[in-house]
Amino acid sequence: METKFKARVQDIKLDYKIWLANSEGNGILGDGKWRMLKLISEKGSLKAACDELGYTYRRTWGNIKKIEDFFGFPLLEKHRGGAEGGSMALTEEGKLLVKAFDRFHSDADAVIQKGFNDFLNELSGKE
């Protein structure tokens, strides 16, 4: 049975963010910091990653330090000097964190998308 919602259901878009917090509720890692770490790994530069995402270098560096302080070890390793001016890479722990968050996000995306589809179907009367 169709519902009054059906006419507008196609205009509803799913939008959400995932983030992890500590026991006090302070953010540790979320979509933005995850994307930043992935870009640093791809580009080999914090500055290049900040430029691409439109983030400030200082704030981003502070956010990365907060993650490192929470876990108690570095996620990035810096390589100074050279003709290109040095580079930055994820440590093994940084790579593991990004890989685990990739998998977690993918799994959560699938569950959330199914729930969203069920929601739209219910509003449309297709249940």
- Helices 92-124, 31-43: axis angle to 10 degrees equals 130
C-beta separation of 33 from 26 below 8 A: no
Whole-structure pTM value: 0.86
Give the Cα separation of 90 and 40 in Å (integer): 8
How would residue 104 be classed by pLDDT, with cut points 50, 70 and 90?
Answer: very high
Q: Which tens digits make up the pLDDT trace of 68-81?
A: 999 999 999 988 76
Q: Which tens digits make up the pLDDT trace of 36-65?
A: 999 999 999 999 999 999 999 999 999 999
Tell me the average pLDDT across 99-126: 96
Looking at residue 82, its pLDDT comes to 61
Which domains does the chain carry? 21-124 (1.10.10.10)
